[in-house]
Amino acid sequence: MTRTRPLAPRRGARAPARDAGVTAVEFVGWVPILLLVALAALQLGVVGYAAQQAGSAARAAARTAAQEEIEDEYQAAGRAAASDWLDVSIEAVALCGDEATVTARVSVPSVLPFMDDLGDATRTVTMPCD
């Protein structure tokens, strides 16, 4: 008796017709998830950038507030140190006595469509007065 082996599929053989379009459907299913992950990563970067800008604004404002000749210009110096598109508020906790303490708040902008309020990035800096 002779045994017959099943035929191996040829190289480059096409998939059966019932699998046509499956890749396109999978792609359409994954695209929203991938976009959401990309936007979340971008949002994380924006949060970090806002925190860094709050620190820069607080340092610049405290440095200016620590100089007696120009201490009343601390808010302008703090706003100038941050990016124009960010909402920055500068508050003096204590002006020159021995130290000048300034707090900067930066409102964190949202990139994600379903998250409106992400809060503020806040930094407080103290500098010795001249």
pLDDT tens digits along 101-129 = 999 999 999 998 888 889 999 999 999 99
Prediction pTM value: 0.76
80 vs 18: which has the higher pLDDT: 80
Q: How far apart are CA 19 and CA 16, in angstroms?
A: 6
Of 74, 52, 79, nearest to 63 by C-alpha is 74
Give residue 14's pLDDT.
63
Alpha helix stretches (DSSP H) within the chain: 22-65, 74-81
43: tokens are: 């949002």
Give residue 28's pLDDT.
83
Give residue 13's pLDDT.
61
Q: How far apart are CA 2 and CA 33, in angstroms?
A: 55
